[in-house]
Structure 1
């Protein structure tokens, strides 16, 4: 199909089901925290920020272990098993929180079980996320013009899983019970793991360990290196279990990890790269940093935008009210519709010499993200800050945000494999996700600018709309300024890509 390798479609369906489980759980999480356990908006935003930051930070380690020892197939398989355990663990909801006067009574055992389940998922994604994307890059030659198209198709699989998850898990969880929504997400991961194991032969050996002999060597733990890595991964869950509960510590670790990685990459670029490789790596790092702006805006959809939709948007259609979590399916549905168009468009423009280069695509993505929040501000103004916001404004916002995402994200994954030095593709893919981790942390801080407190307390609609509008006006300005600056820099960046488009 479309002259792409069969392995692409194995990865398409594997990632589709893995993302079904990931986004199905994530769509429910903000409401599970605020409506079931009665965390305040700020506390819930911090938990989601911690969770998402760690989810995207750990692929740096997972990418290194796969590049050096495990190979991509073994890393993806182990990660999927951990995720599966965590997703089913989320199905234990415990008792509903209650208030007794000013006292809040929560089920602390259930809360700790939730944090441990999140830790399992975080560790699992660390082994899986960067490495499954790296396999996609391995299926193509470095200068293959179909590579961008292949990543766009792969990205469509991610969003097909996301669309199904947010529609099904969101509806089931909010309608029939949190445990059923989370359990359905676990079934998705089971299907993803099964697909990968059954059809792995179509990966054509690209995902195997670089040196099986190294994996069999005994370590200081008296275990073969492969099993020592698995034991270390399992042990890391207990550390992550504690980290996910403390926002400040996660922030400090992100700063330390980022600075360390920048230093190591700087040393590698100066000492082991050719002149052309140095230029490309510099461009890749600039693009990676610019992606932080985009994802800080984009990830509002799982925190402030989700709560905005639940609290101040008129979600009634034909007398039926749509569940707020199911509105998250707008983003992946738009991507499913637009991804084939963009996959064709990039190839078509490439043939006639008019395809925008990667930095221009990045700048367009950030600009569209900024405009998406402008649509929300316009909706708040149209409601005159006194009545609920029309659903149409939220739909327009998601359409603009989706356009930005499809300009930047699949192209970003492709840029990593095209611009990175061959020896550290996995690490650079992990670095891309580390930038996303920083974005998740920043996104939580931004979302707290519209903190309305606890769901157990009432709020004034007009005040809520003004708080959300003030936040989204700031985000619009940030997106437009950052996108325009990157667009101005794009000729300089193109020059240092040395022939890579």
Structure 2
């Protein structure tokens, strides 16, 4: 009997393959967010990055994570199919996380990042494609299935920051990174074991992958391309300015294509809708540049400038990275119901207004945190008897507040943005526009690294230099002074009001954008 027919069946009303994808993606997100929670601290406290270099490298890393899925998705769509691509990506991820446990060789560290970037590139886009393929067109279970899948993402993200963050900052980096690697290994085992439940929906699109080129099958050439991707990422992660130039070049090409195609290749209604969604994509870049402070500057602030003591235990700063996923998990059903409730009464906000709300909340979150940081400085004496003005620690409740408010902003913008790209773009280029959406996310992540550097004042950089000249680690031995605190306050005040300014601008543009959407809601 055909293997696909043998394994056809449901569990909790959904294809069994959904739960294979659920657990594979859960463990992949566990590995990714576990490593992400520790990365900024590892750069600074272990490798001695300072003067903003850690933020730029972190931004370049997350940028490449968002860019590489374009290549992995194309190779899977054309040759490999989702199953082979996901398996290959999972193997690269296991290797990358395993090598992260090697702490005495910086080139192995860069290679680890490159393997993780490339692994995400092959796994991330294709596991989602696989979920969609499990449901026939028009199947009413599809949205529910993606909701279950989305739960797996957030369970993995939330638990990773808690487990890996605790192990890494309590027992040592290798324990945290090792836990992330074990998680990805579990994901790979689950996926290999459960392939029989995918009902043949994740196989190569044709037999073209078997064709030989220079005596080697195209499937093998795809894997060679993956290895080449690792090598390229290994180089790029060491030359971060090249990543910025690459993002700028691809962004410029995308914008030119978007404008040209809108004006020259579209009918009037298509043109207006395509122009409107392009404007929204541009505003999303601003949102991600500020929202993604979570893994970089906000992580550093939580570590150095926040009172994290709970009943005598200083909670590791990396564990607070779980708050975003926890809030998404709890608030997403409420927002899904809210939009339906408002829609039935014809008072649901338009797509541009939802985007403006996202920008407003991300700005408001920073301003709330700045308000919470307004404690008076503390005077103390250093070892030489000189007065040292320490920065008063911020109450931990304000970290909960900023993550909560930012998550509300994310729920207003991120799922709405994905949906609007598919609804407003002509079907013949919807894939290109989705790529533009993720490219904007990549550009936002790189810009996030630049924004994060503004939290380090010139005075604080001089203090770092002095400590280095004394042969001490630039970051670990500097007290949390008022100088550093002012750097965060000034930067977060500027970006907070800036985001609200862009929110107001988008609100003013919204009547025109709604008109250009020609009835699409």
| TM-score scaled by length of structure 1 | 0.88
Relative to 1, partners in 2 of residues 1:307 and 1:446: Cα closer, same or farther, differing over 3 Å? same
1:156 aligns with 2:151: yes
Which residue in 2 is equivalent to 1:216?
210
Alpha-carbon contact 1:449-1:467 (below 8 Å) kept: yes
- CA shift for structure 1 position 241: 0.5
Relative to 1, partners in 2 of residues 1:460 and 1:13: Cα closer, same or farther, differing over 3 Å? closer
* Range 12-21 or range 300-309, more displaced: 12-21
Which residue in 2 is equivalent to 1:364?
357
Relative to 1, partners in 2 of residues 1:375 and 1:144: Cα closer, same or farther, differing over 3 Å? farther
Alpha-carbon contact 1:134-1:417 (below 8 Å) kept: no
CA distance in 1, matches of 2:277, 2:515: 13
Alpha-carbon contact 1:152-1:339 (below 8 Å) kept: no
2:490 equivalent among 470, 475, 479: 470
Which residue in 1 is equivalent to 2:450?
445
Structure 1: stretches of 5+ with no match in the other structure: 95-109
- CA shift for structure 1 position 134: 4.2
Which residue in 2 is equivalent to 1:117?
112
- CA shift for structure 1 position 425: 4.4
Cα deviation digits, residues 106-140 of structure 1 (max 9, x gap): xxxx1110100100111122222233344455667
Relative to 1, partners in 2 of residues 1:320 and 1:456: Cα closer, same or farther, differing over 3 Å? closer
- CA shift for structure 1 position 151: 5.1
Cα deviation digits, residues 432-452 of structure 1 (max 9, x gap): 221111111111111111224
Relative to 1, partners in 2 of residues 1:149 and 1:406: Cα closer, same or farther, differing over 3 Å? farther
Paired residues for 1:44-443 under 5 Å: 44-94=54-104, 110-136=105-131, 153-200=148-195, 207-210=202-205, 212-219=206-213, 221-266=214-259, 275-383=268-376, 386-443=391-448
* Range 291-300 or range 120-129, more displaced: 120-129
RMSD of aligned residue pairs (Cα, Å):
2.9
- CA shift for structure 1 position 201: 5.8
1:481 aligns with 2:501: yes
Which residue in 2 is equivalent to 1:43?
53
Alpha-carbon contact 1:159-1:335 (below 8 Å) kept: yes
1:401 is paired with a residue whose SS is helix
CA distance in 2, matches of 1:276, 1:144: 29
Relative to 1, partners in 2 of residues 1:424 and 1:466: Cα closer, same or farther, differing over 3 Å? same
Cα deviation digits, residues 175-198 of structure 1 (max 9, x gap): 111111101111221223333444
- CA shift for structure 1 position 88: 1.2
Relative to 1, partners in 2 of residues 1:85 and 1:280: Cα closer, same or farther, differing over 3 Å? farther
Alpha-carbon contact 1:119-1:237 (below 8 Å) kept: yes
1:430 is paired with a residue whose SS is helix
Relative to 1, partners in 2 of residues 1:131 and 1:311: Cα closer, same or farther, differing over 3 Å? same
CA distance in 2, matches of 1:274, 1:124: 40
**Computing the radius of gyration over CA atoms, which structure comes out larger, 1 or 2?**
2
CA distance in 2, matches of 1:192, 1:82: 12
| TM-score scaled by length of structure 2 | 0.84
Aligned residues: 484
- CA shift for structure 1 position 74: 3.2
- CA shift for structure 1 position 223: 2.0
Relative to 1, partners in 2 of residues 1:411 and 1:157: Cα closer, same or farther, differing over 3 Å? farther
CA distance in 1, matches of 2:270, 2:76: 22
Relative to 1, partners in 2 of residues 1:169 and 1:476: Cα closer, same or farther, differing over 3 Å? same
CA distance in 1, matches of 2:264, 2:196: 38
Relative to 1, partners in 2 of residues 1:274 and 1:188: Cα closer, same or farther, differing over 3 Å? farther
1:239 is paired with a residue whose SS is helix
1:71 is paired with a residue whose SS is helix
1:496 aligns with 2:516: yes
1:33 aligns with 2:43: yes
